[in-house]
Chain A
Amino acid sequence: MGIGQRLGWPLLFLLPAAIVIGFFFFTMSIMVRISVAPNLGPAQIGDGFTSDNYIQFFGSTFYLGYLFRSLWLAAYCTLITAVLGYTLAYFIHRSGRRTRVLVGALLVIQFFTAYVIRTYAVMLVIGKTGILNRSLLGAGIIERPLALLFTETGVAIGMILVSLPFMVFPIVASLQSIPPNVEMAAASLGASNTRIFWTVIVPLTMPGIAAGIVVVYLFELTSYIVPGVLGGGYVDMIANLIYAKAMQSFDHPFAAAAAMVTLLVSGLTVYLLQKFFRLVTPRT
């Protein structure tokens, strides 16, 4: 008996998902096709097959530079996001109900505010006459305004701030799933607070850390708006290159090839991250 016969009409509920997934693979397959098509001038895609687009990408340190810079920038930003996110999540978990609701609400509001608007908000903070520079100048810590906007540091700050909720939420969830008396039990057995943190809390929140890091890394690796707005063209990442190639040079085959490479690199990174986290997550 086939699965369809056994399940019958409830299978219909899968239809929306099937449509979405089908559409996704359909468009992806178009992109794969275009990535191996010859470029016959602006916005003209040839019919044949060629590997020129990939050769062009991998043969040029200029193009590869975009990829490696993106990988590196996303890597260290994810690490900083993880540390900040864990600190914030731990603070939320530890604080009283009122603080927890307040900080949680601020994060949720941040989370649901349009991405572009959030990025512009970061611009107001780190700009030459932004809050950060004005308060540092006012406090006499610096004499000249820091150049953050349109630098890699500025882009990094923006990416970290914008992706922080993706890190905080899964970690808070995993902190809250720790059985309530476990910390007290550890203390009664002689573990100091530092010891409890490293031997009990961190291992038990590893699933949350893993989820946060994978999502944030992908999110930051493929950032487009943050480097676009806060980098001002000086700190372009791989997504900005693809956009410029597709929408300004109209070299669709090359853009498709670059996008394919990014997709595969992302997939490989996620695979490796998950392998790593499977190793370091204690079994329960």
Chain B
Amino acid sequence: MAVVNIRNVSVSYGDQQVLNSVSLTMESGKFIAVLGPSGCGKTTLLRVVAGFSEYSGSVEIDGKAYDAIPPHKRNIGIVFQDYALFPHRSVEENIAFGLRLRRISRADIEQKVTQLLDLLQLQALRSRYPSQLSGGQRQRVAIARALAVDPKVLLLDEPLSALDKKLREEMQVELRQLQQRVGITTMFVTHDQEEALALADKVVVMNKGNIGQVGTPSEVYARPRSRFVADFIGKSNVFEATLDKSEGDALVCKLAGGETVRIARSGEVRSGQEIHFFVRPEQLVLCKPESPAADGAKLAGIVRHVVYKGSNESIHIELAGSKMVEAQVVQSRGWNIGDAVVVGWNANDALILAE
């Protein structure tokens, strides 16, 4: 188990700044998901930790500076998106590869390999070659191979993205259980926000080479600090408004079209300030025009599109000024395209975005 401290790490390729003074602490034994769209620098961050990328700043593991240590001496396990198994080695030999490079007796290697084959349920496949394995099996071999050398840190570079949805979900559970059993500090790079929320102890949201927000899954989902995070983690309906006054636990503000709405109170705000706030689709409340609406808002709209998703439905509504919002409802009240609808929310569910 190890603590990783990344301090002011910057990486640039030519005049392109890929990482912009990124600092991050990975606590011992925690599962950290680095989440962001492609090109945000998340894979570069992983390569910095592994030692495969030139950088300025520092990477410390358990208080020791790793900046001058070459990749092959860092003892950090990596599982790549394409698994990068050695195609000319059997499952067993793949797992033993790192062990054979260390001065370990044959018997100990054998024991360690068997232990990992058991842990990842690969016993029956031990003498197969990578080309004879399915995607999920290859992934397990890659994990076993990385864990074999008892690395200080495990880095996972989008390891689930090549699997189909069902298998991916199974592997998520398995991966998380495995990580907890082994207790290894893990960095998991992904562009899939559901995956990050499902797996991680801590989510790091990255955008354009910067860290946008760090927090527990529920923090970044419920309290996103920026519009980017709000948009990237889950869906959100963002509104522009002008602050009017505070009223108890709520703030009263005016939308561009002049409607008065109430949102949750937060931080220092002053009257007349231009703000952005957001409401999650599942927190929008839809009513028929004549019924009583929620306390936060009462915006008239027309249903433009309905997406049936099995357990829920996504209703796309056009508000005044052609603004589109998306509401997620669990039980359909039978909204149809063209229906007049009133969109509302509870003031507590509408949150100001800081940036």
Contacts and interface: CB of A to CB of B under 8 A. Distances in A.
Interface of A: 179-182, 184-193, 195, 200, 203-204, 282-284
Interface in B75-103: 75-78, 80-82, 84-89, 97-98, 101-102
B77 to A, nearest CB: 6
A200 B86 CA distance: 7
30 contacts: A179-B84, A179-B87, A181-B81, A181-B84, A184-B50, A184-B78, A184-B84, A185-B78, A186-B86, A187-B72, A188-B50, A188-B72, A188-B76, A188-B77, A188-B146, A188-B151, A189-B98, A189-B145, A190-B98, A190-B102, A190-B149, A191-B97, A191-B101, A193-B72, A200-B86, A203-B88, A283-B88, A283-B129, A284-B88, A284-B131
Chain B, interface SS category: loop
A17 to B, nearest CB: 31
Contacts of A188: 50, 71-72, 74, 76-78, 146, 151
Contacts of B129: 283-284
Contacts of A203: 88
Sort A-B residue pairs by CB-CB distance and give the 8 closest, nearest first.
A189-B98, A282-B88, A181-B84, A185-B84, A181-B80, A284-B87, A187-B71, A190-B101
Contacts of A191: 72, 97-98, 101
A181 B72 contact: no
A190 B84 contact: no
Contacts of A179: 82, 84-85, 87
A189 B101 contact: yes
Nearest to B50: A188
A191 B72 CA distance: 6
Contacts of A200: 86
B73 interface: yes
Contacts of A284: 87-88, 129-131
Given A181-B80, A184-B80, A190 B86 contact: no
A189 B96 CA distance: 10
Contact of B97 (A184, A186, A192): A186
A218 B149 CA distance: 46
Name the residue among A189, A203, A283 with the largest chain B CB count within 10 angstroms. A189
Nearest to B98: A189
Contacts of A283: 88, 129
A190 B51 CA distance: 12
Contacts of B75: 190
A184 B70 CA distance: 12
Interface string B59-78: 00000000000111111111
Given A188-B50, A190-B73, A180 B82 contact: yes
Contacts of A180: 82, 84
Interface in B121-161: 129-131, 142, 145-146, 148-149, 151
Given A190-B73, A190-B149, 8 more contacts: A181-B82, A182-B86, A184-B50, A187-B71, A187-B72, A190-B75, A193-B72, A282-B89
A186 B93 CA distance: 12
Contacts of A193: 72
Contacts of A190: 72-73, 75, 98, 101-102, 149
Contacts of B81: 181
Name the residue among B78, B88, B131, B151 with the largest chain A CB count within 10 angstroms. B88
Nearest to A178: B87
A195 B86 CA distance: 14
Contacts of B101: 189-191, 195
B97 A204 contact: no
Contact of A189 (B52, B82, B97, B130): B97
Nearest to B155: A188
Given A190-B98, A190-B102, A185 B87 contact: no
Contact of A182 (B76, B84, B98): B84
Nearest to B76: A188
B22 to A, nearest CB: 21
B80 A192 contact: no
B127 to A, nearest CB: 11
A284 B72 CA distance: 25
A226 B50 CA distance: 51
B126 to A, nearest CB: 15
Nearest to B157: A181
B13 to A, nearest CB: 12
Contacts of B130: 284
Nearest to A189: B98
Nearest to B80: A181
A185 B85 CA distance: 8
A182 B130 CA distance: 13
Interface in B179-198: none
Nearest to A181: B84
Contacts of B131: 284
A282 B90 CA distance: 10
B246 to A, nearest CB: 54
A200 B84 CA distance: 12
A178 B129 CA distance: 15
